[in-house]
């Protein structure tokens, strides 16, 4: 792979966060990005997350500190407000579609050569197919048990990387 490729990382936060939690591992962005970048030059890094409406001032301050830390480390946080359901429960909506739109937008504007998708969510299959149609390279990073078989069938085996292999 040529060193002058324009590479961007797109992280589906919740897709990873809950698997890290299930494994009893603290999810940390900087080590994750180091693993994924593999000493390649990365042009942009985005993470997408649903953000709840918080009433607790301390939690609001802590969350904003976290977002600022990511920003200082070169990670753009795309915050998508959670949707409140009947009964007051909040649910993540529009996060995957926001990520998909950004990838396609960068591809259509010819601002990336390789998109690194950090998610195993099969809903991204149409995005990957479209990137391939426009001769963009795609790489998937996921945990084995969260990687959709639909994604696995869409991307070359050499472009699928399992986070499990790097965390043990």
**pLDDT tens-digit profile of 41-60?**
999 999 998 776 656 677 77
Angle in degrees, CA 32, 107, 75, rounded to 5:
30
Task: Tell me, yes or no, whether 60 lies in a domain.
Answer: yes
- Mean of pLDDT values over 34-40: 92
**Burial of 110 (C-beta count, 10 Å sphere; 0-12/13-18/19+):** exposed
Q: Say which DSSP state 79 is in.
A: E
The CATH number of the domain where 18 resides is what? 3.40.50.1010
Residue 135's domain comprises: 7-167
Task: Output the CA torsion sign for 158, 1, 163, 83.
Answer: negative
Question: 77-100, pLDDT tens digit by residue?
Answer: 998 876 667 776 766 677 889 999
């Amino acid at each position: 792979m040529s060193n002058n490729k324009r590479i961007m990382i797109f992280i589906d936060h919740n897709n990873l966060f809950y698997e890290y939690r299930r494994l009893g591992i603290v999810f940390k962005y900087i080590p994750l990005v180091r693993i994924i970048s593999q000493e390649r030059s990365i042009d942009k890094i985005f993470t997408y997350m649903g953000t709840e409406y918080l009433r607790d001032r301390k939690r609001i301050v802590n969350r904003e500190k976290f977002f600022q830390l990511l920003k200082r480390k070169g990670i753009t946080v795309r915050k998508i407000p959670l949707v409140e359901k009947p009964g007051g429960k909040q649910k993540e909506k529009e996060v995957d579609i926001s990520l998909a739109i950004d990838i396609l937008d960068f591809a259509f504007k010819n601002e990336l050569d390789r998109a690194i998708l950090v998610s195993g969510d099969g809903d991204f299959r149409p995005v990957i197919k479209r990137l391939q149609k426009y001769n963009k390279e795609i790489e998937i990073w996921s945990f084995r048990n969260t990687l959709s078989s639909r994604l696995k069938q869409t991307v070359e085996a050499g472009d699928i990387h399992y986070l499990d292999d790097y965390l043990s």
